[in-house]
Amino acid sequence: MGSLLFYILLAIKTLILLLIKHFMRITLIMSVIFSYAFSAAIAQGNEKYISVQLPNDFSGHTPEGAYSIYLDSVETHNGHKVATIKSLKPSGFATILSSAIPEKCIGKRIEYTAHVRSENVKGWAGLWLRIDPADVYKDPCLGFENMSDRPIKGSSKWTKYRIVLDVPKGAADLVYGILLDGDGQVWLDNVNLKIVDKSVPLTTNKKVL
């Protein structure tokens, strides 16, 4: 009986791995991205993350009770509501993100831009862009930039920020968004990804996380 149970469990595990590999690749990639956030949360004794669905295929993720992520009906930009991250009892960081398939970007340079407004940011905030391969277990990151060398701090009006990275061969997903680490509030709008000429300078020399 024990041997039979072992083989049943082994078969279930194999089936799950196949499903993940063939039908849930994006979910797998997202889980790798947030492994850093989960590790930080666990280290601080906060193991629960809350996810919030936002319009236009964006979602928000925050340690439970640390931040609030929502569509702001009071603060608008260009006449429409915008997504925001607001600190409650900051622990770790919170992020708003989306993803795209980079089929037309392989071997090219891309620019990620967005407009951000900040209010009383005492920690730091920044746009971030991550380039992931198809097999995230073999090589979890092909490129990463999060504006850590030029963080958004304090209070500011709507400002356009940018990240420029090269998309290498083997890239399967582009995951991008904004993060807030610490007290304060940020709003995000006019998110755009586009291919640019190689004459446009990179915003970082870091190739991996």
In tens, the pLDDT along 105-161 reads 999 999 999 999 999 999 999 999 999 998 877 777 899 999 999 999 999 999 999
CA distance 169 to 77: 37
| Nearest C-alpha neighbor of 67 from the set 77, 52, 54 | 52
pLDDT tens figures, 86-95 = 999 999 999 9
CATH superfamily of 2-196: Galactose-binding domain-like (2.60.120.260)
Q: What is the mean pLDDT of residues 9-22?
A: 46
Q: Which amino acid is at 88?
A: L
Tens of pLDDT, residue by residue over 174-204, are 999 999 999 999 999 999 999 999 999 999 8
Other Cβ atoms within 10 Å of 152 Cβ, number: 21
> Position of tokens 């083989």?
7
pLDDT of residue 46: 45
Q: What is the rounded (10 degree) CA torsion for 201, 204, 205, 207? A: -120
Cα 161 to chain centroid distance, Å, stands at 16
How much is the pLDDT for 77?
A: 86
Considering the chain, what is the average pLDDT of its residues? Answer: 82
| pLDDT given at position 40 | 44
Which pLDDT belongs to residue 159? 97
pLDDT at 134: 87
pLDDT score for 138 = 75
